[in-house]
Amino acid sequence: MNIQALKSGEIPKPIQILVAGGFIQSLGNSLMWPLNSLFMHNVLGRSLTEAGLILALQSGVSLLGQFWSGVLTDRFLPKRIMQGGIAAAILLLAVIALFPVWPVYAPAFILFGLAQAFIYVPLNALIHAAWPEGGRRGYNLLYVFNNAGVAIGTAIGGLVATVSFRFTFMINAFSFAVYFFLVLWGISEYHPRINVLPDQRQTAKLNKEPSFSVVLALSAGIFLVWSAYIQWTTVLPVVMGNLGFPLPAYSILWTLNGVFIVTLQPLTGWIIKVWASGFVRQFYLACLLISLSFIILLGHLPYFSYILAMLILTIGEMLILPAVPAAAAHLAPRGRDGVYQGIVGGAGSGGRMLGPLLGGLAFDQGGGPAAWLLALVFMALSFTAFALYHRLVKKPILPSQT
């Protein structure tokens, strides 16, 4: 997908607004999320065990929240649910900024994960309802610009935190406030029962029962992918530190991740167009690439190997992360978009919750190589899950659009 497409009349205005708002919110949010453990340990005086527990609890409530928000999205319409989630996020961030103490921060931070679940599930339903003929393009635009925000936010987040951690929460609350008013004034209400293409309504109606089995296989695949992927954010910084690399050497990898996502769109667009025009091939290729990144980590190689592994990992995630909600949107029977987005979103949260736990246990027993081998097991299982997904799809899913 060419980013210049936003300037043309090809992209519907609601999609442009949602993408712009996602970029602003992502920039503000990325000032905070890489520093949460540091804030809890250095400022609030909590142990890393306590910090890890809070992060796990946030992922847990996010998992439950995505299922719940999916049901409510189908019942009460996505815009309303999304506005409620954004308003709750603003309130929680403001409370943390005003009262940065542990008894306030811990429950507010956990509930912030719940609020985000009520943003992203209806957001994915809105993307599909506002631009059903766009296929994966709407999800891809959102993914690219969210990661552009992450690249900028993570690059400056440390500088903002040196001024004041409280300031990072205030800026984040302000970014969500901007997002709220963009959605309020710029987005009409869309109902998933109505705003779908006629052929998709008929396909969903005919495949109502089989499609739920397919989405469970799809969810199992993304659950396992996230279980592996999260090792890059939990185990790798410790491994690199033990090998003598300074902390900036690790943080640079994630800045490069955002840069790669923005700049390599022509490459992934070409891959999808020439070789992986359907979702299944994208999933298979992504699994192979993400697995290759962990194989590289198994070697005790110079720093350049970490950059190469990050490049390969990024291409893999670019193929799979926007494609999963797009595939779920196509599978969803009429009026069930929110539920299906909640299922795949909750599966991702489950992987982000289980992965650090098992990865930490593997690291304690056998160091970095044990964690990378565990990740490869997860990826092998994910490949199997996507093979099951492929087998259960009785009719070809529409080709992805770039």
Q: Could you tell me the two tokens for 114?
A: 């719940």
pLDDT in tens, 284-328: 999 999 999 999 999 878 999 999 999 999 999 999 999 999 999
* Burial (0-12, 13-18, 19+ Cβ within 10 Å), 274: exposed
What does pTM read for this prediction? Answer: 0.81
pLDDT in tens, 78-112: 999 999 999 999 999 999 999 999 999 999 999 99
Q: Which domains does the chain have, with CATH numbers?
A: 9-195 (1.20.1250.20), 196-395 (1.20.1250.20)
Which of the four pLDDT bands, split at 50, 70 and 90, describes residue 189?
confident
Q: What is the pLDDT of residue 225?
A: 98
Give percent of the chain with pLDDT exceeding 70: 89
Q: What is the pLDDT of residue 402?
A: 38
CA dist 319 and 117 (Å) reads 23
Three-class secondary structure of residue 136 per DSSP: coil
Determine contact, residues 34/327, Cβ cutoff 8 Å: no
Give every CB contact of residue 55 below 8 A, 6+ residues apart in sequence: 36, 37, 356
pLDDT in tens, 209-253: 446 789 999 999 999 999 999 999 888 888 888 898 887 788 788
Give every CB contact of residue 357 below 8 A, 6+ residues apart in sequence: 56
* Mean predicted confidence (pLDDT) in 185-193: 72
User: With 80 as the cut, is the pLDDT of residue 194 above it?
Assistant: no
Nearest to 325 by CA among 347, 355, 293, 308: 347
